Amino acid sequence: MYPGYFRKPHYYETDQMGIVHHSNYIRWFEEARVDLLEYLNLPYSDLEQAGIIVPVLEVSCQYKGMIRYGENVRIDPTVIKYNGTRLDFSYEIINEKNQTVTTGTSKHCFLEAQNNQFIRLKKVQPTFHQIFTDYLGD
């Protein structure tokens, strides 16, 4: 089971009050997403070497509490939808008090890098497709 992605805010990510600026959460979602894919033995580098890109189609973020400089957080990314052409994630950021302080989602698709055409992962890279279906228990 994936243990989550652990992070401590950098000083430059905060405002004058020492609170993490809202723009950084989307970056943190990406860091956690990349970490989850590496955990699943499907790093972005393997996708890119196979000629596949995974652009972001949509992202959302809901702020429920503040994260301050020096606090440790855990980011839990989860694949919530995979159908061979789309890949959607949810995110939950949990503080040291085990409180959910941020939630979010991102939606992605798979494209052939050379021509930006939509692809079906099952057809183009069945091994990659199997990683996602195994993760989701399909």
Q: What is the pLDDT of residues 14-28, one digit of tens each?
A: 999 999 999 999 999
Residue 29 belongs to what domain range?
5-136
Helix, coil or strand: residue 105:
strand
Strands 86-94 and 73-82: antiparallel
The residues, any chain, with a CB within 8 Å of residue 120's CB and separated by 6 or more, are 84, 85, 110
Q: What is the pLDDT of residues 88-119, one digit of tens each?
A: 999 999 999 999 999 999 999 999 999 999 99
Rounded Cα gap, residues 43 and 20, in angstroms: 28
Domain total in the chain? 1
CATH number at residue 53: 3.10.129.10
Rounded Cα gap, residues 63 and 69, in angstroms: 16
Q: Return the pLDDT at 138.
A: 53
Task: Report pTM.
Answer: 0.94
The answer to whether residue 76 scores a pLDDT higher than 90 is: yes
